[in-house]
C-alpha cells in the first residue's frame, strides 16, 4: 500500500495555490446530507439579511397555500394572509417553534436577530428582531434542508392568530 505524507498529498494548481485532497473533494461535489459540500459553504456565506429576504417570500407562499382552502373572497383571503405574515404574528409563530429547534437552528435565529439593524416604525425592536430571525431560519432551511423546513412549518397553527391584531 502506497502511503503518502501530508506534503505529498498536496497538489499545486496553475496559480501555485496548494490544495489538499479534502479541498479537491469539496470542489468536485462531496455530498453532506444531500447537499454538495461546496454549496453548504456558499449557503453559510450568505448574509442573514439575504436569508431573511428568501425566508419572507417562502413563508408568505406557504401561508398563501395553506389558507387557500376553503375558497373565499379574494379580499378575505388577502386579509388572512397579511395577518399571518406580519411581524407580530411571526413572533408568535417563532415562540411555537422554539422548543422544537436544534442548537444549529437557534444559532441561525441569533444571526438573524442580530442582523436586523433597521429601526422599526410601528412596532418594538424586539418583535421586529424575532420576525427577522424567523425569516432567516426559514430562508436557511429552504435552501439547506427543505424537509426540516416542512416539518417545522407543519407545527404552526394559523387559526390561533386572528384578523383583529
> What pLDDT, on a 0 to 100 scale, did the predictor assign at position 9?
46
Statement: residue 63 has pLDDT above 60:
yes
Residue 151 lies in a domain: yes
Query: Looking at the 3D structure of the chain, how many domains does it have?
Result: 1
Give residue-wise pLDDT tens across range 110-135. Answer: 999 988 777 778 888 899 999 999 99
Residue 59 half-sphere exposure, CB side, CA atoms within 13 Å? 31
pTM: 0.72
101's grid cell:
429547534
Residue 19 lies in a domain: no
Statement: residue 44 has pLDDT above 50:
yes
Residue 33 lies in a domain: no
Residue 140 lies in a domain: yes
> What pLDDT, on a 0 to 100 scale, did the predictor assign at position 86?
94
- The sign of the dihedral angle between the CA atoms of 71, 74, 80, 84 is positive
> What pLDDT, on a 0 to 100 scale, did the predictor assign at position 118?
73
Q: Coil, helix or strand for 18?
A: strand
Give residue-wise pLDDT tens across range 15-25. Answer: 444 443 333 33
Cβ contact 59:138 at 8 Å: yes
Give me the catalytic one of 2, 56, 76, 103.
Answer: 56
Q: Coil, helix or strand for 151?
A: helix
Q: What is the mean pLDDT of residues 139-164?
A: 85
List the CATH number of the domain containing 109.
1.10.1520.10
Residue 107: C-alpha distances to residues 5, 40, 104, 162 (Å): 37, 16, 5, 30
Q: How confident is the model at residue 165 (pLDDT cuts 50, 70, 90)?
A: very low
Range of the domain at 110: 42-160
Residue 88 lies in a domain: yes
Quick one: what percent of the chain has pLDDT higher than 70? Answer: 71
Q: What is the mean pLDDT of residues 88-116?
A: 93
Residue 42: C-alpha distances to residues 6, 39, 53, 63, 114 (Å): 27, 5, 16, 28, 20
Angle at 29 between CA 24 and CA 34, to 5 degrees: 140
Please confirm, yes or no, whether 56 is among the known catalytic residues. Answer: yes
Amino acid at each position: 500500500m502506497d502511503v503518502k505524507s501530508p506534503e505529498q498529498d498536496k497538489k499545486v494548481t496553475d496559480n501555485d495555490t496548494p490544495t489538499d485532497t479534502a479541498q479537491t473533494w469539496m470542489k468536485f461535489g462531496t455530498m453532506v446530507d444531500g447537499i454538495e459540500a461546496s454549496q453548504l459553504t456558499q449557503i453559510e456565506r450568505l448574509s442573514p439579511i439575504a436569508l431573511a429576504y428568501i425566508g419572507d417570500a417562502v413563508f408568505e407562499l406557504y401561508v398563501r397555500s395553506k389558507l387557500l382552502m376553503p375558497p373565499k373572497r379574494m379580499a378575505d383571503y388577502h386579509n388572512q394572509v397579511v395577518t399571518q405574515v406580519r411581524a407580530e404574528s411571526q413572533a408568535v409563530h417563532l415562540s411555537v417553534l422554539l422548543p422544537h429547534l436544534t442548537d444549529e437552528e437557534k444559532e441561525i435565529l441569533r444571526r438573524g436577530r442580530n442582523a436586523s439593524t433597521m429601526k422599526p416604525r410601528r412596532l418594538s425592536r424586539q418583535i421586529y428582531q424575532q420576525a427577522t430571525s424567523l425569516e432567516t431560519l426559514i430562508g436557511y432551511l429552504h435552501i439547506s434542508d427543505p424537509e426540516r423546513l416542512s416539518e417545522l412549518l407543519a407545527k404552526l397553527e394559523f387559526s390561533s392568530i386572528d384578523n383583529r391584531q
